[in-house]
Amino acid sequence: MKTIKYRKPRKYPMFRPQLWTPPHNAAATARLPALTQALDDRLLDIATRFLRVKLASSLAVEDMVITDAIARLSLPFEVFTLNTGRLNAETLALLPASRLRWSIAIKEYVPHAEAVDEYVASHGENAFYDSVDLRRACCRIRKIEPLNRALADADAWLTGQRREQSATRTELTWEEQDKARGIAKFNPIFDWHETDVWAYVEQHDLPINALYREGYPSIGCEPCTKAVKAGEDIRAGRWWWESRDSKECGLHK
């Protein structure tokens, strides 16, 4: 009888898709002086027109650029963030890092505990996965209501939004009117490319979220954010279970 020798199965390396990485572009570095000057001019213009200006910082890389400009120009703008209670540890680590870098105390606004408890009791802790309506309800409690409190005494507010970020922001302008709150709203780097933002970060060595180095180009709450593959839309990891056109929390509606 012929003896059949046992062969161990071949081991194939596990396929791991290449993840997004922060972009580098020599052209962006070259145009950075002009972009920085335009940003400074915009912020100085806002400072001459309004008394109480606030930057709503998600601690994203765009907001770090604007915070750095505010600090460089010694502008009397308040910088605040919305601590939703579901942020990544890497995001929260930027609060002390920012204070150390710029000597700016970033004010935290948190959701009302009663509203959070009621949502969880009625729908479940992670009910936002079940429907767009439930996800938006969670965003209203954890982000929009705290934002309303933060802006209650503001004359104008700033965001880090850019046209290039998503399909819902392609018509973004540098100055808007926040009709719901009756105040001005500004997007100082609305016309910057992603490469421009990262060129500024590298040139000024800004503190950034460690998750950017792990393939996260857009970072929100921990359960609603994941890494994306190279070449994917930079907001593909935000609310990835929803359609492309619904990926807004309502802060900028």
Could you list the active site residues? 249
CB 135 within 8 A of CB 248: no
Task: State how far the Cα of 142 lies from the Cα of 120, in Å rounded to an integer.
Answer: 12
Question: What's the CA gap between 247 and 46, in Å, rounded?
Answer: 29
Closest CA to 232 of 24, 19, 28, 25: 19
Contacts of 48 (CB under 8 A, 6+ apart): none
Query: Helices (DSSP H) in the chain: which residue ranges?
Result: 26-49, 61-72, 89-92, 94-102, 113-123, 132-139, 145-150, 194-204
Question: Is-contact 190 197, C-beta < 8 A?
Answer: no
User: DSSP 3-state assignment of 158?
Assistant: strand
